[in-house]
Amino acid sequence: MTKIKQSQFLGFYNALVDGDKDKCTSLVQSLINDGLDLKEIYVEIFQKSLYRIGKLWDHNQMSIPQEHLATQIIESLISRFAPVGKSNTEKKVVVTCIDKEYHEIGAKMVSNVFEMTGWKTFYLGASVPTKEIIKFVKQVDPKFIALSWSLYLNLGRFLEVVDHLTRFFPTKKILVGGQALNENSINILKKYKNVKYIDSLHSLESYLKQE
Ligand code: B12
């Protein structure tokens, strides 16, 4: 059960849609002062707002500049209220969006959850070509690779990167997530024994606790 009240969500959402960054910042600051977990703010405030905005945009009820402005405000809040803590250099993870995937906010949240759990993160952001991901993984030699995939149209690219990574790095664990994936996706991933679909930040945190 979330500790965030609907009125708090709506206060933030309305300020976001109005493009009022200062108000959004002070509302998030007060939630943090009240002891709310960053993960909770990510999911119940930022993600919920962006999903709503996505629907409005899809139905032509919100302009592209309004949607871009809201996205920029949320990106700036994620950076401003970034987790602080000491990372364990033994536990490295490369977090990246797949090639031609420009939805990077979910991946950034994933990277921050790894940091909160003490991992050393290498967050690459949006659209990294498959061969560059492979080169980078060779260089950094992480324990985990976390891939984010949102746009269903990128299915071919998703399968390509999973196929290449599992072939080049058969012992590494690959975590995958994002809106293009769901319970049905488990079928397309069945043949890869080191690939794991994780459906939320809460599941990710629980999974990392066992590592
Ligand atoms: C902002 C936005 C954009 C921005 C992104 C900017 C940025 N810096 O990220 C821009 C303008 C670039 C954009 C472009 C497009 N977009 Co857009 N966009 C959105 C919007 C409104 C919000 C995305 C977001 O940040 N959501 C919030 C995050 C936190 O949620 P999330 O990504 O799901 O991540 C969570 C989980 O999925 C999970 N997760 C994610 N990755 C991973 C990885 C791992 C390992 C794990 C464990 C978990 C995990 O954890 C996260 C936190 O809980 C969505 C609406 C929506 N429903 O999300 C549409 C949406 C994603 N976009 C959509 C579309 C169609 C497009 C465009 C094709 C539009 C166009 N015609 O140009 C392009 C495609 C660009 C591309 N090639 O990637 C569709 C996608 C439909 C689909 N699934 O195929 C959506 C759903 C809108 C809609 N209702 O139709 N978009």
pLDDT at residue 84, as a whole number = 85
pLDDT at residue 1, as a whole number = 67
CA distance 167 to 165: 5
pLDDT at residue 74, as a whole number = 98
Q: Whose CA is nearest to atom 60 of ligand 1?
A: 54
- The finding on whether 92 has its CB within 6 A of some atom of ligand 1 is no
Q: Cα–Cα–Cα angle for 116, 120, 124, nearest 5°?
A: 100
pLDDT at residue 185, as a whole number = 75
- The finding on whether 128 has its CB within 6 A of some atom of ligand 1 is no
Cα–ligand 1 centroid distance for 118 (angstroms):
27
| Tens digit of each residue's pLDDT (9 = 90 or more) over 65-112 | 999 999 999 999 999 999 887 777 789 999 999 999 999 999 999 999
Cα–ligand 1 centroid distance for 208 (angstroms):
24
Question: In Å, how far are 5, 61, 146, 193, 196 from 172, measured between CA atoms?
Answer: 40, 44, 11, 10, 11
Q: What sections of 18-154 are H helices per DSSP?
A: 21-33, 38-41, 48-58, 64-80, 105-116, 130-140
- The finding on whether 61 has its CB within 6 A of some atom of ligand 1 is no
pLDDT at residue 186, as a whole number = 74
Residue 151 makes CB contacts below 8 A (sequence gap 6+) with 100, 101, 102, 103, 180
List the chain residues with pLDDT less than 70: 1
Percent of the chain past pLDDT 90, that is, above it, reads: 90
pLDDT at residue 55, as a whole number = 97
Q: Are 157 and 142 in contact (CB under 8 A)?
A: no
Using the atom order of ligand 1, give the atom closest to the CA of residue 197: 47
User: Which residue in 16, 37, 40 sits closest to 27, CA to CA?
Assistant: 16
Cα–ligand 1 centroid distance for 152 (angstroms):
10
Q: What are phi and psi of 36, to 5 degrees?
A: -70, 140
- The finding on whether 180 has its CB within 6 A of some atom of ligand 1 is yes
Q: Helix, strand or coil for residue 116?
A: helix
